[in-house]
Structure 1
Amino acid sequence: HANWGNWMRAAGVDGQGFGHSGSRWFNLDEERRRFDPKGNYVRLWVAELSQVAQEYLHAPWTMPVEEQQRAGCFLGTDYPVCPESPSKLALEGGDVAAKFPKLFSTTREGKMKGKGKGKRRAKA
């Protein structure tokens, strides 16, 4: 098993502001400025965005139709449509745990079913 907790901390996305301006939230804008300012990573790994102009590369959902035509990347066809800015959705999503309680539950009822190491067998 990978130690995902330490990897998250090393990457600075563990929610404790480790090396990221003290914010406990993952900030997409800050991450792209720090780690991919020219968009090289995006262009390499997201082929659909390889021809998109720099100003829209990290926020392709803001591309006007003219840019979509120029780049040959159409929202909803070549790249998913994002109805809102991910940063805005993250800020408004504070009540996600309330909307999906079983997903974030620490009670027995919320745990996933199945057998595995450390799981108790169901009583017959």
Structure 2
Amino acid sequence: MCETCRKKSRSKASHEQRVMRTYGLGPGEYDKLFEAQGGVCAGCRQPRRERLSVDHCHTTQLVRGLLCRRCNGHILPYSKDSPEVLRRLADYLEHPPAVAILGERYYQGDGTPKPQRKRRRRK
């Protein structure tokens, strides 16, 4: 076995041991989750650049899935793992209150209003 293959094999084995010890995932269960998620983060759906983190509830210890570092380390902690906060933020992005109150305003950076333009609808 070449040095590169040996390092990959050792790295995979140590990762499996760590997720088993930390999250109770048995051999192959991380890979099963990864494949079921299509090889992407369950939050932002971006393909991985590095190994995805095992996300779990800190109260119940329930393993929820695999997330990228941004989703697991920033988005969920700032929302305090609250689905309601995330729903409100999604509603806020889809229906900004400023548009209903002021009409469409686009930031230009120098204090002058930008001409109105058509908003793209998110799918």
**TM-score, normalization by structure 1:** 0.27
More strand by share: 2
Q: TM-score, normalised by structure 2?
A: 0.27
Report which of the two structures shows the higher radius of gyration computed on alpha carbons: 2
